[in-house]
């Protein structure tokens, strides 16, 4: 088989493989053959059958050539070193039976580099890059990956007490999640856009557009930014794809993981590793997170980017916030199965007019990790004072209580409580769970029912 025929077969296999990741793509400036309402995996069985048929038709053509390649590989290895007869030899022999389908065995290519046996014998004088499962996944998902750049201000206090504000630039990553009739939604980390005055999103075609914050949840370190579709050029719309979202509930230790993000603000980059741990409890200064651990490098700027499985499905949202400079090979991501309900909730939220916003009536602060470890206090919001005749006071909240849940959702920081309160209207009734010390100093859980007041009347 000559190089041109081989290239045609590889291109055909690559096209079949990539089409799997685009089943749930949504918008385009052109007429799309994809149904916006179709399920991401609805046609997988048909495509696998097509791939299998294509592989079978090309198998006979490959047979004679693959035998020659196997023999040549063994001779070369024997000449170079007799010691190289284990896993490397197996890999070379296995390459002769390569198929376009993604299997567990083929994921070995991630760590063992492909060997181009035709190098130096290409009659046309041209060379082609090595195609692996990972390169196919990356090419397929890159249109759903974005870079996020933010502008915020910081206040600096001089030695004589004077203060001055400066603009600072930051960078992170994002994942194109979905759209409404007129808006594109992109998921990222809360800490990427926290206190940002300006947000800019750069798509895979290199064009940047101004975005606005749709909403965030600091407890889960998640946020969604939005861009009006009318402001995005047609060429960019045609290049955008939405990510295929996978489940993080059935991850296996040791399975491949691919991280994509705007590392150090240089633009999209790819790192590869394995799932090191699932359900890993990571203690931060102000909260505890349950995360996926991977040895794929996750650096500053990767925050908000995608952690993918070998099928190209997003299984986690990367966060460099949970990295430690004293260790290597430990990156963390928010499990997609935990993140998706929060993201959906943010997208579906409606803005509440200021005159209808709710009021609770407490003064408090976050119970940080040192209080938890030294005093054994529960994580939550410590109530230092309760305003007299306020909704909190009328509902039974007392000073020295620790609020751990608000309206059925866990609360770990004062910022989180403020966010959740901001999504409620005056007159709403909510359940608040507090931990209260008894006469022996032991914390007991109590559930209180509070009818919220109007912020304008506070």
CB 170 within 8 A of CB 259: no
Q: Tokens representing 442?
A: 């032991």
Q: Which tokens in the block code for residue 455?
A: 């912020």
> Residues in the chain, how many?
458
- For 303-320, letters b (16+ CB in 10 Å) and e give bbbbbbbbbbbbbbbbbb
Q: Is 68 exposed, middle or buried (0-12, 13-18, 19+ CB in 10 A)?
A: exposed
β-bridge mates for residue 357, sequence order: 425
**Residue bearing tokens 């609805």:** 42
Task: Show which residues are catalytic.
Answer: 191, 221, 303
Give the Cα separation of 110 and 257 in Å (integer): 10
Token digits of residue 249: 């509930």
| CB under 8 A, 24+ apart: contacts of 275-284 | 275/251, 276/329, 276/330, 277/253, 278/248, 278/251, 278/253, 278/335, 280/332, 282/322, 282/332, 283/369, 284/321, 284/322, 284/369
For residues 79 and 161, give the distance between their C-alpha atoms in angstroms, rounded to a whole number. Answer: 74
């Amino acid at each position: 088989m000559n190089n041109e025929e081989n290239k045609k077969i590889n291109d055909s296999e690559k096209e079949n493989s990539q089409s799997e990741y685009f089943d749930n793509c949504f918008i385009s400036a052109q007429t799309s053959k994809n149904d916006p309402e179709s399920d991401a995996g609805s046609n997988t069985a048909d495509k696998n059958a097509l791939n299998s048929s294509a592989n079978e038709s090309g198998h006979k053509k490959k047979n004679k050539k693959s035998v020659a390649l196997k023999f040549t590989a063994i001779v070369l290895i024997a000449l170079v070193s007799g010691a190289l007869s284990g896993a490397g030899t197996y890999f070379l022999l296995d390459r002769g039976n390569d198929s376009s389908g993604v299997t567990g065995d083929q994921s070995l290519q991630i760590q063992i580099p492909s060997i181009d046996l035709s190098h130096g014998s290409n009659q046309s004088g041209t060379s082609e890059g090595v195609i692996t499962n990972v390169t196919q996944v990356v090419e397929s998902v890159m249109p759903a990956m974005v870079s996020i750049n933010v502008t915020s201000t910081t206040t600096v206090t001089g030695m004589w007490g004077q203060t001055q504000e400066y603009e600072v630039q930051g960078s992170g990553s994002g994942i194109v999640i979905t759209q409404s009739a007129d808006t594109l939604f992109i998921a990222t980390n809360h800490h990427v856009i926290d206190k940002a005055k300006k947000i800019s999103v750069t798509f895979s075609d290199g064009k940047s557009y101004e975005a606005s914050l749709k909403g965030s949840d600091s407890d889960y370190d998640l946020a969604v930014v939005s861009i009006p579709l009318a402001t995005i050029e047609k060429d960019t719309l045609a290049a955008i794809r939405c990510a295929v979202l996978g489940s993080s509930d059935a991850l296996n230790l040791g399975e491949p993981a691919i991280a994509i993000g705007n590392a150090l603000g240089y633009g999209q980059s790819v790192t590869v590793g394995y799932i090191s741990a699932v359900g890993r409890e990571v203690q931060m200064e102000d909260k505890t997170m349950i995360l996926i651990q991977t040895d794929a490098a996750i650096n500053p700027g990767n925050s908000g980017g995608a952690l993918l499985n070998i099928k190209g499905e997003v299984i986690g949202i990367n966060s460099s916030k949970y990295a430690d400079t004293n260790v290597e090979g430990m990156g963390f991501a928010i499990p997609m199965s935990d993140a998706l309900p929060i993201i959906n909730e943010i997208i579906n939220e409606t803005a509440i007019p200021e005159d209808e916003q709710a009021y609770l009536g407490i003064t408090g602060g976050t119970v940080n990790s040192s209080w938890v470890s030294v005093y054994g206090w529960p994580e939550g919001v410590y109530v230092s004072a309760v305003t007299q005749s306020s909704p909190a006071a009328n509902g039974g909240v007392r000073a020295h209580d620790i609020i751990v849940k608000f309206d059925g959702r866990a609360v770990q920081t004062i910022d989180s409580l403020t966010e959740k309160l901001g999504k409620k209207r005056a007159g709403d009734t909510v359940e608040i769970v507090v931990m209260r010390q008894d006469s022996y100093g032991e914390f007991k859980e109590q559930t209180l029912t509070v009818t919220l007041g109007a912020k304008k009347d506070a």
